Chains A and B, each alone.
Chain A
């Protein structure tokens, strides 16, 4: 079993941060690491929609939109909010768990526009993990690969 829980002191600090800097940081990191792979997908129908990712155990609320040029922090009311723990988000990211499975067992909560959620899920599912790994800096790609195979 992986232990991804943050030390409580750190979680406390993260919880107290206002929403904007984490959202900015998230967009910057996502643009650098993920966008090169994600930009190959067809975002047309999804451009301009607002998303929120709530990492429950860290008290993080990441709000952003996706434009033709990548992620951008956004503070408007989200069309779609996805909530889960950090560990479950990582399991999803590594394709080790299926979102429906987490949803049925109430570990993943999706609120807002259901069709938007489904479209995003299907879009990401269709993305070849190798495409993402190839675009990552080598040490990170190796770590991710180990984690996906574990």
Chain B
């Protein structure tokens, strides 16, 4: 059993917000994000949607905007390089170093090795796509690549998170809000099964060209490459057209056979996260618009400030919850695996 670590850093609950464009980046910074994360305009990141993300000039401008205001920019390079296009990923690492990114968020061990060798000064974060769920795994990345922070998959309960935090000096980042990707982060092949493209290699789950929405007399239908994912009744909230959130006929019963389309919302758990020593809270949604980034950043900034001021008295306001619920896909929000009786 390794020794328990004393936290050497004073970072606590840094707010990390998504930016799919320069406008969103500015919105996040203006409304109180401590850092934003972005991707380049290709499949080196897991939100490779048409028209989204940053070219080099925009990334440079975003960095300038953030740094002028004392905030940070992290670059998501969180897909798995393919053998024949390896240089696209290493090229992206080189560009990140040249631009002066505050950190790169990596999932692939080969790419980490490249980054450490070529750019020893570049700060590395382990992506959620790296799927490290134990302190042994986190410490492995620390020893071999010197990672400074790890984003934990959304499968751990809070006591499990606490256990990881206690046994590593790597900063721990948790997801706080946004769309949920089920319990196989970095390993999901559902989209690939249906379309030949999945987030880990092509940078996109349910590529838009394979998605079809149709209003029918029976309701709004979503299809992925012809496969019916869901049919929403008149007043039902819709969700993202991903296979994991479809309703399927299993054994004669039609239901959410894999996962319900709810959003993660952990406002309630902020005092615990602060106590455990979580370094940063990540907000999902680089694919969303500046309006979303503004609304969600405002709420989380206020909540984190409140919990830091007085954790014991902290209680999310109904207004915050209402605002976040409005932004969510599906019917409701969930505390996710962080709060569950089973392990």
Does A104 contact B289, Cβ atoms closer than 8 Å? Answer: no
Whether a CB of chain A sits under 8 angstroms from the CB of B326 is yes
Does A122 contact B238, Cβ atoms closer than 8 Å? Answer: no
Does B51 contact A118, Cβ atoms closer than 8 Å? Answer: yes
Whether a CB of chain B sits under 8 angstroms from the CB of A101 is yes
Whether a CB of chain A sits under 8 angstroms from the CB of B246 is no
Query: Which residues of B are found within 8 Å of A96, using beta-carbon distances?
Result: 291
Query: Which residues of B are found within 8 Å of A118, using beta-carbon distances?
Result: 49-51, 208
Given A114-B209, A125-B21, A128-B23, does the pair A98, B295 have CB atoms closer than 8 Å?
yes
When each residue 13-57 of chain A gets 1 if its CB lies under 8 Å from chain B and 0 otherwise, what string results? 000000000000000000000000000000001000000000000
User: Number of A residues whose C-beta is below 8 Å from B?
Assistant: 29
Interface of A toward B, CB cutoff 8 Å: 45, 95-101, 103-106, 109-111, 114-115, 117-123, 125-129
Does A119 contact B50, Cβ atoms closer than 8 Å? Answer: yes
Closest to B27 in A: A95
Interface of B toward A, CB cutoff 8 Å: 20-24, 49-52, 207-209, 211-215, 220, 232, 234-239, 287-292, 294-295, 326-330
Query: Which residues of B are found within 8 Å of A114, using beta-carbon distances?
Result: 208-209, 211-213
Query: Which residues of B are found within 8 Å of A111, using beta-carbon distances?
Result: 213-215
How far apart sit A73 and B237, CA to CA, in the bound complex (Å)? Answer: 33
Query: Which residues of A are found within 8 Å of B208, using beta-carbon distances?
Result: 114-115, 117-119
Does B239 contact A98, Cβ atoms closer than 8 Å? Answer: no
A-B contact pairs, 20 of them (CB 8 A): A95-B289, A100-B288, A101-B291, A101-B326, A101-B327, A105-B238, A106-B232, A106-B237, A109-B215, A114-B208, A114-B211, A114-B212, A114-B213, A115-B211, A118-B208, A121-B51, A122-B49, A122-B50, A123-B51, A125-B51
Given A106-B220, A115-B209, does the pair A97, B291 have CB atoms closer than 8 Å?
yes
How distant is A104 from chain B, measured CB to nearest CB, in Å? Answer: 5
Does A106 contact B290, Cβ atoms closer than 8 Å? Answer: no
Does A122 contact B328, Cβ atoms closer than 8 Å? Answer: no
How far apart sit A119 and B52, CA to CA, in the bound complex (Å)? Answer: 8
Does B238 contact A103, Cβ atoms closer than 8 Å? Answer: yes
Given A104-B328, A106-B238, A119-B51, does the pair A127, B23 have CB atoms closer than 8 Å?
yes
Does B21 contact A104, Cβ atoms closer than 8 Å? Answer: no
Q: Which 10 residue pairs across A and B have the least CB separation, nearest first?
A: A122-B51, A115-B208, A98-B292, A126-B21, A98-B291, A114-B211, A119-B50, A98-B289, A115-B209, A118-B208
Query: Which residues of A are found within 8 Å of B23, using beta-carbon distances?
Result: 125-129
Does A122 contact B21, Cβ atoms closer than 8 Å? Answer: yes
Does A122 contact B295, Cβ atoms closer than 8 Å? Answer: no
Query: Which residues of B are found within 8 Å of A123, using beta-carbon distances?
Result: 51
How far apart sit A115 and B294, CA to CA, in the bound complex (Å)? Answer: 25
Query: Which residues of B are found within 8 Å of A117, using beta-carbon distances?
Result: 208
How far apart sit A19 and B97, CA to CA, in the bound complex (Å)? Answer: 54
Closest to A129 in B: B23
How far apart sit A109 and B330, CA to CA, in the bound complex (Å)? Answer: 16
Among A99, A100, A119, A122, which residue has its beta carbon within 8 angstroms of that of B329? A100
How far apart sit A129 and B23, CA to CA, in the bound complex (Å)? Answer: 8
Among A100, A109, A119, A128, which residue has its beta carbon within 8 angstroms of that of B289? A100
Closest to A115 in B: B208
Closest to A106 in B: B238
Query: Which residues of A are found within 8 Å of B24, using beta-carbon distances?
Result: 125
